[in-house]
Amino acid sequence: MVTTLLPSSSMPSLSIWELFSFDSFAHAFLFAVLTYLMIVGLKKQYTFPRVKHFAIRTSLVVSTLFGVSIELMQHFFILGRQGDIIDVLSNTIGCLIGILLFKWIYQQ
């Protein structure tokens, strides 16, 4: 996730439309992996049964808030970076893809 804080000049420019750019796909991919692994981890823990039961909802909320906070940090604290609503949208789409991937693999 450190790569989300790199200057935008270091990212390849392959965009046809802004939502279908390399940057958007990278955000969606990373957040799909994050959400998927978070769900798997929360489902396999037995310390907090309520969190285990709501693993999908918990991972969606935590991952989405993480994505929003990254964009806010970029906008306010990282020189050369701007927070972007397209990145927030890509992060959220990635979270939803991670949930779908989990449901597809575990057939729930």
> Between helices 55-77 and 22-44, what is the axis angle to 10°?
140
φ, ψ of residue 48 in degrees (nearest 5): -120, 90
Residue 14's pLDDT is what? 46
Structural domain contains residue 35: yes
Structural domain contains residue 94: yes
- Confidence at 78, pLDDT banded by 50, 70, 90: confident
| pLDDT tens column, 21-64 | 788 899 999 999 999 999 999 999 999 999 999 999 999 999 99
Are 52 and 45 spatial neighbours (Cβ–Cβ below 8 Å)?
yes
Residue 8: is its pLDDT beyond 70?
no
Domain holding 69, by residue range, is: 19-106
Sequence-separated (6 or more) residues with CB below 8 Å from residue 11:
22, 23, 26
Are 88 and 19 spatial neighbours (Cβ–Cβ below 8 Å)?
no
Q: Is 85 exposed, middle or buried (0-12, 13-18, 19+ CB in 10 A)?
A: exposed
Number of structural domains in the chain: 1
Instruction: Tell me how far apart the alpha carbons of residues 41 and 52 are, in angstroms, rounded to a whole number.
Output: 9
Q: For all residues of the chain together, what is the average pLDDT?
A: 86
Instruction: Tell me how far apart the alpha carbons of residues 106 and 43 are, in angstroms, rounded to a whole number.
Output: 11
Are 27 and 47 spatial neighbours (Cβ–Cβ below 8 Å)?
no
Structural domain contains residue 57: yes
